[in-house]
Amino acid sequence: MAEKLHVGIIGSGGMTKNHSRGYLNSGQYEIVALADLSSEVMNEYDKVFSEYDDYKAQHFTDFREMLQEAKPDVVSIGVWHSGHAPMTIAAAAAGGVKAILCEKPMADSLGAAADMLMVCKRNNVKLAIGHQRRFLPAYTLAKQLIADGQLGDIRLITSVAGDGLPNYASHQTDMFRYLLGDIECTWVMGNVERETDRWERSTQIEDKALAVFGFENDTQAMIVSDLTPDRWQGARIYGSEGMIEMTTNDLYLMNAKSGGWAHHKPDGEFFKYGSAGFEWLEGGAGQAQELAAWASGRSDDHRGNGENGYKALEMIHAAYESARLHMQVQMPMKTMVNPLDLMIADGHLPIRYPGKYDIRASRLRGENLGSDSDNR
């Protein structure tokens, strides 16, 4: 077996725990370093992974010190959104890093995401974005059924979301492209409502949104976000010759051959259908396994590569740009800052009910009500 890759983790939150489980369950990594502002949180993180022989994390309160002293092969970034770009750039420029796994959304602006791609390319560092649902067997089965023509021509894909388009729905814009073979989104139409001063992990978000996407094969996709109480990851897929209703665990197929709704419950490569935590564990392990092959030169690509992460974010920001300009947005996007921030700054979305609040504030410690990046 090839020598295990050494991993440095930046951030001790829920998403890097998912990254870490993926690394350890794939059997191809050793976690050698952990960086966080809080020693208390890092100690708690250690306890979560104490049963794993390949978890040997040295603690750092400065992530740049971790990069220089631990010299990891792979770096995971799971801090709040505004930290994604500067930490990715620092890791890529540190020297010796082969690959970076950055949590989604890729960045808080397209300009920052473009900088991440540029610096990683310049330093020959492979960049993946944490859209781990690309590695779920139900998603991959749906993609294969579509490619095999089991639904005919795909007319429409619909999803429901909440808690801000960048946070929740970036998984769905990425899913649309994955299901359709990563074809290009060519236009976007969107609208938003923002009557409260709502934030999500230090990023301004809307209260409600509706977004419609057009693709180069004439498929359309739609996201309804916070307009109804309903929200779930997955999709309803409508074709000329059949339909799929898909969740993160299973899917139902109806076409001329299925004899009604056929229920598919595919197992993963690492975990069986129905096992506890299946979605997170299988997605994380699959993502890590493919990253190891990419970082080690055994494969030429990663299905969650930075370019795909960029395009998922671009579709979200194009929905904001459509709301800002009151028009259909043609892709690729030209505005490289966050259009929602522009609308808020210029009074386009006046707040009816003042009082800033962050829907993730409960995840912060003690008196700290800002983002991690505020303390750097």
Residue 102, domain extent: 5-133+279-304
Q: Is residue 123 in some structural domain?
A: yes
pLDDT at 371 over 80: no
**What would the pLDDT profile of 46-90 be if each residue is shown by its tens digit?**
999 999 999 999 999 999 999 999 999 999 999 999 999 999 999
Q: Is residue 288 in some structural domain?
A: yes
Q: Is residue 250 in some structural domain?
A: no
Q: Is residue 145 in some structural domain?
A: no
Q: How many CB atoms lie within 10 A of CB 190?
A: 26
Q: Is residue 176 in some structural domain?
A: no
List the one residue out of 211, 169, 162 whose CA is nearest residue 187.
211
Mean pLDDT estimate for the chain:
95
Query: What's the average model confidence in pLDDT over 298-312?
Result: 98
Number of domains in the chain: 1
**What would the pLDDT profile of 200-230 be if each residue is shown by its tens digit?**
988 999 999 999 999 999 999 999 999 999 9
Structure tokens at 301: 């690509």
Q: Which residues does 318 contact at the CB level (< 8 Å), separation at least 6?
A: 185, 188, 190, 329, 331, 333
pLDDT at 6 over 60: yes
Compute CA distances 98 → 75, 120, 121, 206, 293, whole Å.
Answer: 8, 10, 11, 36, 11
Confidence label for 99 from pLDDT (cuts 50, 70 and 90):
very high
Q: Is residue 357 in some structural domain?
A: no
Q: Is residue 194 in some structural domain?
A: no
Q: Is residue 337 in some structural domain?
A: no
List the one residue out of 262, 302, 253 whose CA is nearest residue 98.
302
Q: How many CB atoms lie within 10 A of CB 281?
A: 18
Say which CATH number the domain at 21 has: 3.40.50.720
What confidence score (pLDDT) does residue 372 get? 43
